[in-house]
Chain A
């Protein structure tokens, strides 16, 4: 029972990380039809810069970590917005070229990070509390999971509030439903593109700093490896659906944890099988709508 509880909560913690990456991917795809292969690079860059700034403020202290998280948010949003303006916008409505450009950016940026920070991951220092565990009904849960779950929940609430309560959120929601109609009503939907990229980038940037907390290190390939899981989560949840991404993140991570523990480290395979099963039964994903 305690094992199941442990696996469940650590699974939700990992799912929180997946959600931070997948939420942006899903929103961007839903609005613009672009599968962003450079998303992992937003995450990696934010992770590195967050760590660089954080350790100067206070290595291994809460102030350093919180500053790092803030830097990650800002860096992710800025880099994503610049990417949209410089690389995505000129290729407006040419989806395949947009995907190819993000593929190129992803490959090139990882190489650049390797050049700057080296190929090997760098171990980082964290506040002591994060290295300890909390007893929940007999299960010793690592404390960093609480940070992950809390941050992801805040991001989820923040994005939902933004989408529901602001006028830009309204434009974005309408754009996901029917972009042509929004344009026909005289609204410049392109500004919404930049905003969605910035939001997705900010979530990924925060995810980058939290990924370094989760793994205890920052590395040039951290974003790329998380990106593959985020893709799987996005497809399972239904491309363009935020709630789908949230549910699928937790589902995928929990399946992965349980398969890793009970089926001899086959977590990766279990996730892929889950993807195949979902696609065969329901090609649009769990919460995906059929697009017209």
Chain B
């Protein structure tokens, strides 16, 4: 084996630009699917709070599907399967506009919505029933009591789980490589096959994922502590 030499990778501008593009796509997929997941999760939670058994079962089925089917299979179903059912001009447009990344964001976002909505629901259920009653007794409307009393507590309860699922979403963005998104893991493999500097390239990729994951975990811990302090005041 050759000696460990990072310069062998970083002295080549092609390799550097591939890795930087990879990092950009990793963040794009992560941010896109996080936002989509959170927006959908809020919608799912609202539907689940409605007093309709059908609506609740529909959401439960949605969550169950996304939790029991492997994420990679969901990605494949979207990219290979559902894309094929779309009209031809839309398929052509997607092919011209990073269709892989769009489908990765859709698939990961829909999957993440199931996890986020369950986190929020657990947080909501952990709020004592007396809180809602007290808020109504103080003269808050339903929406007012949600906005000022229930939701702040629910979100605070849900933060640890939401952070954990955000970290796993960040790591799962690497799965997008299997459908050809040029994200970091894809870039790492590409540079490796061209430079034969496996050890160095893998180390760079691994370190990047590790640092961002740990930063996300640390940010979550800070957030949780600030919320606890705010609650204690």
A and B found bound together: no
B residues near A (Cβ < 8 Å) are: none
Interfacial residues, chain A to chain B (CB-CB below 8 A): none
